[in-house]
Structure 1
């Protein structure tokens, strides 16, 4: 099992002409932690990740992976890092097995490692297929396998489930959980809030090159202090009866049923139980997506 690696970013700045793409970003990732960078298009997520990976040298600030500065490209550190880029490229006309064999050979990895990685990412039955014949989800899994073939301590994943269908995304989540459960430190960028909520120990929400909030998904949602929506099956309760209940803030009569808004769901649910009105109801609290929209706004981004 990997021991992970600690990542420390302090005051990172990256500029392109007059544009400050990253503006004083600081965070620390503990060994074995699953950390998420979230933000709208142009927030600076990928640029931040590229500085932490060592693909770009910061204009200002420092990055350390344990005691190493990644932009110096030290061989000892490179062997400990696995990188899955936002856009994956493979050697032409090679099969999935040959791709992994080639990546493994670059790190001096034994040939038997290929079979292990194909098993881990669920591509055993596609081992002899050329990469151009693989589906989008299969290519993403192969890309992650290539990033893991040398057994790195820290893994960087830049939008690994972008453009995948819901089934492929959920299957890939299992692979990502296994990566982290093996002790590796993982940094993920994603636009999917449910993905971050399901996978990440902590998340940093970025916009305009800065970190707006950083905490566990649950703590960020609690800090929003958003009301809970309880939707009853049609005909279960009258509008006026619902409005007369304790702790009810709003009542809306919708096609899907009566929706009650409250900040004290336990009390409302208790009253609904006394009225024998629990059958078919649904309860929806705030989510990380609500936090994201509250912090970054709802306007379209380029």
Structure 2
């Protein structure tokens, strides 16, 4: 079962203690556990909108798409590229921007199969994503929260995974152990290129993120993974589209052209970068 232990009050950073179905801090701030076992640690004053993050519909589309395992090769590459020495004594993992929990669930199954001791925490700003995640895997501490202000004490985790998310490196550095690992997973230049060529009149040049490196971290390993997968129905294509930024960015004409498709072969082009927290 998930532990929901060693968490901090998002208002005053005081330690949270479990009292029946709530977490409480010494100053009286109380956070009730939801029926499915997650806890919302995103205070109203930290929300930029009434219902931040992915909508219920977007989460459902992503969950249905990911459950078809088109992106399972991403899981395999994460596991094969993970610096092996860092798994020997067990690992405390934060998935920062975990969505509906697909990756943390799959990684958990694989590491447990290898008898590696793991503790998993998943955080997302979308309560709909965390609600779905908390139904998927009861062995994870699921939190509604923000990467900009992680509701955990310093040096809480050994590894942070940020997959297609919004990294906040100062916070990641704070909550990572002394030599903790950070994994960034992002789209490469040819990711879903076949779909993008239909959606847009022209394709923008690819811009590398963080080309100067990441302050407080050193790059340990960089890897690219490319493979082809097929979507065999308009429904699957719509599910994929609704979990990407293209659903909002593409032109009307582009979206209408995609609606005419009943199948499409797509390139997955994924970049993996492992960083280690610098000492001092």
Structure showing greater Rg: 1
Length-normalised TM-score, structure 2: 0.29
Higher helix share: 1
